[in-house]
Structure 1
Amino acid sequence: MIWQFATRYFWAKKSTNAINIIAWISVCAIAVGTAALFIILSVFNGFSELVASLYSSFYPSIKIVPAQGKQLYLDTAMLQRIRAVPGIVYYSEVVEEKAVLSYNNEPTIAILKGVDSNYTRVSGVKNKIIRGKYETMSQGIPEGVFGYDLEGAMGIDVTRSDIPVTVYLPRPGADATTLPEQALSSDVLFPVGAFNIQQDFNTQYVITDIGFLRRLLSMKGGQMSALEVAIAPNVSDKSVQNSLQRLLGSKFVVQTRFDQNQSLFAIMQTEKWFVYIILSFVLVIAAFNMVGSLSMLVIEKQKDVTILKAMGAHESLIRRIFLAEGLLIAGFGAVGGFVLGFTICWLQQRFGIIKLGGTSFLVDAFPVSMHLADFLLITITILAIGVGAGWYPARTAARQAIELKAT
């Protein structure tokens, strides 16, 4: 009965056209606000997934690092136990160290990342090669795959150059009293490829053979900077993380991809919530039209309210009728907004209508990804705004005194 009254009040012709006009303005305002909120959140999702995909090409699903210091040691037996953890499909031993690279007598500071043969199974770097080839060792000669920006900054052409890059690394145990010529280990590697993932990696990383780097750093087999792990599809990284942490104990830290980029993902989530709050305030402002429309409807329906009360209707029934009226206005606006927002997002996904300016982006158009969670969040927000906007007019109608006049 409540919804019958509310629906009839919404569609019925009013004595003053302004009431109908304001009601439909409220519906349109909420529809536009809903569409804007849905589209903006979908764009944020698209950028988040794009950035996550870029970082996932370089960062593994799970990474094991030492709790203290720069190196860890895992013997063959422990590696076998790690491999036996449910969900793990591959692992790769990795050594990272800052080094000075010299090419044509021009020094550059970079990060050398020594990897084993399994590295291509735990990362997507091989798929991001844009020049040359992916290779870290050939016939016992160390080779390097350079970040695209680092290659350009050093003046290297990986497809043509036969000139090696000289690598300088600090010797373990060297201190201020060590002679300069004894403080550094040096060797050469040949640039053979360049990858393009993301600027943070493109400007500073060189991927080479782990044996080459261990020899320069006087490291033994089993010593590494980190163990990078790939997990099977549809396996929770959290469950694998917990299993590994219990296996390894407190001397090791097991990181998911989120943990490895915690500040980045935290900032992206914060920005998304900040935008959600701002656009929710836009919906709240739009809801003021609802308050005006419902208040005028209460005045319009004074006689109906009086008759209902005379027939025994409680204040709660009157209040719920006008609250339902507010929810109808919000609901029609939400449905229209979702249809509009979904249509725009689908067109953007399919045709890339709105382009990104410039030519240096990895994608041509704004990325969009629609999530069910956003739909539910916006729906709850609109319902809350609809109830809030309808509360005062509904309470006013419910408290209206009975004034029956004899005719």
Structure 2
Amino acid sequence: MNFPFYIARRYLFSKKSTHVINLISFISAVGVAVATMALVVTLSVFNGFHDLVASFLTAFDPQIEVVPAQGKTAPADDPILTKIRTLPEVDVATECVEDQAMAIYNGNQAMVMIKGVDDNFDQLTHINDIVYGDGEFSLHAANLEYGTVGIRLADQLGMSADWEGFMNIYAPRREGQLDMMNPTEGFVEDSLISPGVVFSVRNGRYDRNYILTSIGFARRLFGQQGMLSQLELRLKPGSDLDAVKAEMREIAGSKYRVLDRMEQQADTFKIMKIEKFIAYIILTFILVVACFNIIGSLSMLIIDKKNDVVTLRNMGATDKQITRIFLLEGRMISVIGAIAGILLGLLLCWLQQEYGLVALGRSSGSFVVDAYPVSVHPEDIVIVFITVIAVGFVSVWYPVRYFAKRLINN
């Protein structure tokens, strides 16, 4: 049996001559457990928001997007793009033309993003799951061009889902010079009508700015015949996303960038990761403060066991073994607190998932979800456990060695 561990375990669970030492040891373990629980719960809540945002984007963003590395557009018949879209793993490929324009409806105007897509856009994304109204998602019929507007943009322009009349769209001409005597000649004007629905991605970037229409309309408006802004792809079920993406990047070389959903929203997810990391750092500092209780407990224990130290030395225990006894006790408190805190944190996460104990708003429906979303990631639990153990071990190392050395020398 490990002699220092055996003695440390007896010291931890046995009654001390001064009962306050037991109390401080208990408080130390509770402090570590509470800080650990806070780490587990906080990181899981950030994971919940991350997964929630990602779930919204899957209804609008393609599984893979290929965009020019330089400039806004590229030829639609580029052999590189043709080779990518004809890969056996590709199920649906949609050409898109996207650019800024000005929309005017009933005297209300807004700068918008016109996104022209192919007729198979509803096969590429889950757009039909996020449209609302009495009509259905459509891009054109005969010579009529439809415009499906983001729900917040529709509100800004004073529209209903089934708005009447025409919405005028203006985009600057790409060729020629602007005649200041007749500035309207410097713009291309076209119009859209309502398909009877609006879309809601629950993301301000799309809901407040985007209008979906046919790619033919967008190409005429922006003077981009035969061009595309991005090639959007959906893979066949069961395809290895990472492997296919790597193959596409090899084909694309330096001419195109191949992006998955997370990379398409890199700024959004980067901000969320930074916020999560900052929360982790702050809570780790709180954990460090909690570990000071362990130092106090061990300091009093070392003084309380002064006579035991003399007995142990007479029995042949070395100074290193005696110091290790108190180090192990501090580490055992850290381990107990870490395990208890992780179990409590997982319990709270489960209760939040099942019952929504902490609501986002006072009234139901005020937010996208009624309660804080929670998602437990195993790697976060491992990181939390390692962090607690590391902080606990480091925090007691120097104080224990210092006090034990003084006690032994006396």
TM-score higher than 0.5 here? yes
- Which of 23, 26, 32 is the equivalent residue of 2:25? 23
User: Take 2:284 and 2:237, find their aligned partners in 1: how far apart are those partners?
Assistant: 36
Partner in structure 2 of residue 381 of structure 1 = 387
Number of residue pairs aligned between Structure 1 and Structure 2:
401
- Which of 84, 94, 99 is the equivalent residue of 1:82? 84
Partner in structure 2 of residue 271 of structure 1 = 275
Partner in structure 2 of residue 45 of structure 1 = 47
Compared with structure 1, are the counterparts of its residues 114 and 386 closer, same or farther at alpha carbon in structure 2 (3 Å cutoff)? same
Helix, strand or coil at the partner of 2:194: strand
Partner in structure 2 of residue 61 of structure 1 = 63
Residues 1:218 and 2:220 aligned together: no
Residues 1:176 and 2:181 aligned together: no
Partner in structure 1 of residue 234 of structure 2 = 230
Amino acid at match of 2:266: Q
- Which of 186, 192, 195 is the equivalent residue of 1:189? 192
Residues 1:143 and 2:142 aligned together: no
CA displacement at 1:50 relative to structure 2: 1.1
Contact 1:133 1:194 in 2 (8 A): no
- Deviations along 1:111-148, one digit per CA (max 9) or x if unpaired, are 11001123223333321112242111123321111100
Helix, strand or coil at the partner of 2:188: strand
Helix, strand or coil at the partner of 1:3: helix
Partner in structure 2 of residue 365 of structure 1 = 371
The more displaced of 98-107 and 188-197 is: 98-107
User: Take 2:273 and 2:121, find their aligned partners in 1: how far apart are those partners?
Assistant: 30
User: Take 1:315 and 1:62, find their aligned partners in 2: how far apart are those partners?
Assistant: 63
CA displacement at 1:86 relative to structure 2: 6.5
CA displacement at 1:309 relative to structure 2: 2.7
- Which of 240, 253, 261 is the equivalent residue of 1:257? 261
Compared with structure 1, are the counterparts of its residues 218 and 392 closer, same or farther at alpha carbon in structure 2 (3 Å cutoff)? closer
- Deviations along 1:88-130, one digit per CA (max 9) or x if unpaired, are 4322111112122222243332111001123223333321112
CA displacement at 1:205 relative to structure 2: 0.6
User: Take 2:284 and 2:31, find their aligned partners in 1: how far apart are those partners?
Assistant: 12
CA displacement at 1:270 relative to structure 2: 1.0
Helix, strand or coil at the partner of 1:156: coil
The more displaced of 310-319 and 23-32 is: 310-319
- Deviations along 1:280-316, one digit per CA (max 9) or x if unpaired, are 1111111111001111111222233223333333333
Give runs of aligned pairs for residues 62-141 of structure 1, distance below 5 A. 62-75=64-77, 77-85=79-87, 87-131=89-133, 132-141=135-144
Give runs of aligned pairs for residues 200-215 of structure 1, distance below 5 A. 200-215=205-220
Q: Where does the alignment leave 5 or more consecutive residues of structure 1 unmatched? A: none
Amino acid at match of 1:210: I
CA displacement at 1:237 relative to structure 2: 4.7
Helix, strand or coil at the partner of 2:254: coil
Amino acid at match of 2:185: Q
Residues 1:397 and 2:399 aligned together: no
User: Take 2:346 and 2:88, find their aligned partners in 1: how far apart are those partners?
Assistant: 39
Residues 1:152 and 2:155 aligned together: yes
CA displacement at 1:183 relative to structure 2: 2.4
CA displacement at 1:64 relative to structure 2: 1.5
Amino acid at match of 1:386: G
User: Take 1:319 and 1:84, find their aligned partners in 2: how far apart are those partners?
Assistant: 69
- Deviations along 1:144-177, one digit per CA (max 9) or x if unpaired, are 1110011122122233x34121222223313334
The more displaced of 35-44 and 94-103 is: 94-103
Superposition RMSD in Å: 2.3
CA displacement at 1:259 relative to structure 2: 2.8
Percentage of matched positions with identical amino acids:
39
User: Take 1:321 and 1:253, find their aligned partners in 2: how far apart are those partners?
Assistant: 58
Contact 1:309 1:402 in 2 (8 A): no
Partner in structure 2 of residue 303 of structure 1 = 307
Compared with structure 1, are the counterparts of its residues 76 and 70 closer, same or farther at alpha carbon in structure 2 (3 Å cutoff)? closer
Residues 1:328 and 2:328 aligned together: no
Compared with structure 1, are the counterparts of its residues 200 and 402 closer, same or farther at alpha carbon in structure 2 (3 Å cutoff)? closer
Contact 1:65 1:254 in 2 (8 A): yes
Partner in structure 2 of residue 3 of structure 1 = 5
The more displaced of 61-70 and 309-318 is: 309-318
Q: With the length of structure 2 as denominator, give the TM-score of the two structures.
A: 0.90
User: Take 1:127 and 1:99, find their aligned partners in 2: how far apart are those partners?
Assistant: 26
Contact 1:98 1:110 in 2 (8 A): yes
Contact 1:316 1:398 in 2 (8 A): no
Q: Where does the alignment leave 5 or more consecutive residues of structure 2 unmatched? A: none
User: Take 1:377 and 1:76, find their aligned partners in 2: how far apart are those partners?
Assistant: 46
Helix, strand or coil at the partner of 2:216: helix
CA displacement at 1:233 relative to structure 2: 6.0
CA displacement at 1:231 relative to structure 2: 3.6
Helix, strand or coil at the partner of 1:191: coil
Contact 1:172 1:218 in 2 (8 A): yes
The more displaced of 148-157 and 166-175 is: 166-175
Partner in structure 1 of residue 290 of structure 2 = 286
